[in-house]
Amino acid sequence: MLNKFNWAEKKICVTGGAGFLGTHLIRELRSKGAQDIFIPKIEDYDLVESDAIRRMLSDSDPDVIIHLAAHVGGIGANQEKPAEFFYDNLMMGVQLLHQAYERGVEKFVAIGTVCAYPKFTPVPFSEDDLWIGYPEETNAPYGLAKKMLLVQSQAYRDQYGYNSIFLLPVNLYGPGDNFNPRSSHVIPALIRKCVEAKEAGEDHIVVWGDGSPTREFIYVTDAARGIALATEKYNESLPVNLGSGFEISIKDLAEKIARMTGFGGDLVWDTSKPNGQPRRALDTRRAKEKFGFEARVDFDEGLQETIDWYLEHRD
């Protein structure tokens, strides 16, 4: 176990550290005093491959691994490449945790996904309900691949006493998000659609589904702070939700983004496209009880900062 965790004394390896969440997490870790942070680039280490993982661990020699790296995307991307999403995420996670254990890495922080929850989980989602059904079909391969890290984490703690933890962040948003229309999630996708439609003088945008599903979102800096707190203070294998406690329907979200971007056209709902999971909202009590985490950023404030970032950086 890690006692009196001192960031300045730890060598930290953050897979996915150059990505959306990763860049914010690195900033958070540095603010806590972390000095030795290794960020493997996919060009140098393809973490799906066992040899690349071995090389990365040899090069970084970490005390702690925070595993953010993932092959991710929205509903469309998950439907288009379910096998890739399953294989890449499963192989990355399972091999990395195993080699970390073999090498004697002090602590492994696994980042799961809200997609691991069953399709009809009672709201708010309790960590105790992770196994009561099958995930929503459109992203089940991805969700189940990430969920295997929880099984592995608990099994390695039970058999080997290995210190690994498993966190479940809800949908992220914020500055630096992915705005590529082929792979983006709902908030950046809607922001881009509204901005481009406004500039082109179009009278409507098309939105997937019927608008009825609900989602909870956590601002990326809040998620980074939660991961850092758990890394520092949490040493159990019970899964822990990281959320904001704020739930909004896709219809209300789309109308809010249209209003905030100044798009005055109609929202046309394409009901031939999937809605995804009917509702998503997390029970966040465990994170507060175990390591004192609560989200701080107001949703409208975070949304405005995300829109402003996109307008400034899209070129």
The topology under which CATH files domain 7-174+217-245+280-297 is Rossmann fold (3.40.50)
Q: Is the peptide bond before 40 cis (omega within 30 degrees of 0)?
A: no
- Residue 266, token pair as written in the block: 């109609």
Which residues are annotated as catalytic?
Answer: 142
pLDDT digit of tens for each residue in the chain (315 aa)? 445 799 999 999 999 999 999 999 999 999 999 999 999 999 999 999 999 999 999 999 999 999 999 987 777 777 889 999 999 999 999 999 999 999 999 999 999 999 999 999 999 999 999 999 999 998 899 999 999 999 999 999 999 999 999 999 999 999 999 999 887 889 999 999 999 999 999 999 999 999 999 999 999 999 999 999 999 999 999 999 999 999 999 999 999 999 999 999 999 999 998 888 888 999 999 999 999 999 999 999 999 999 999 999 987
CA gap 215, 250 in Å, rounded: 7
In this structure, the number of other CB atoms found within 10 A of the CB of residue 24 comes to 22
Residue 125 one-letter amino acid: F
Task: Give, in order, the Cα–Cα distances in Å from 145 to each of 27, 45, 198.
Answer: 28, 20, 39
Residue 70 three-state SS: coil
Listed in order, strand segments (DSSP E) in the chain are: 11-15, 36-38, 64-67, 107-111, 164-169, 171-173, 204-208, 214-219, 240-242, 247-249, 266-270
CA gap 176, 266 in Å, rounded: 27
Residue that has been written with the tokens 């953050």 in this structure: 14
H/E stretch holding 7 reads none
CA gap 52, 202 in Å, rounded: 48
H/E stretch holding 74 reads none
The model's pTM is 0.94
Task: Please tell me the predicted confidence (pLDDT) of residue 2.
Answer: 43
Domain residues of the chain, as ranges? Answer: 7-174+217-245+280-297
Task: Please tell me the predicted confidence (pLDDT) of residue 79.
Answer: 83
